[in-house]
Amino acid sequence: QVHLVQSGAEVKKPGASVKVSCKASGYIFTRYYIQWVRQAPGQGLEWIGWINPDSGDTKFAQKFQGRVTMTSDTSINTAYVELSSLRSDDTAVYYCTRSSPLDSWGQGTLVNVSS
């Protein structure tokens, strides 16, 4: 079965960068996009963007343009999202999810941005 396993929780200071990984198993990694979604404490879901692991093409939500990078390593079936210039309102649980539709989700990675 499909599994997406994410890296562990991170604590970062404002202005720093964070990189979260998402290791896929149970399917052919290059056949499905990986999307990233975050959820601030007590809030709803917010789409960050997607990556096509086969081509490396990416698309990001406008609010993250210039601050987000998505990459993938097909040799180890792993996708990454990196967010730079972190602010306190970037504190959230970050999820990777296979698409489309968004049928399998990672367990989430808490990123806590605090001085």
Interacting residues with another protein (CB under 8 A) = 35, 37, 44-47, 50, 59, 61-62, 95, 97, 101-108
Give me the least distance between CB of 109 and another protein, in Å please. 11
What's the half-sphere exposure (Cβ side, CA atoms, 13 Å) at 15? 1
**Beta carbon nearer to another protein, 72 or 97:** 97
Between 78 and 109, CB nearer to another protein: 109
CB-nearer residue toward another protein: 75 or 101:
101
Sign of the C-alpha dihedral, residues 103, 31, 40, 1?
A: positive
Q: ∠ CA 35-44-9 to the nearest 5 degrees?
A: 65
Tell me if 60 sits within 8 A of 38, measured CB to CB: no
Cβ closest to another protein, residue 8 vs residue 75: 8
Name the CA radius of gyration of the chain, rounded: 13
Torsion of CA 27, 29, 35, 40, to 10 degrees: 70
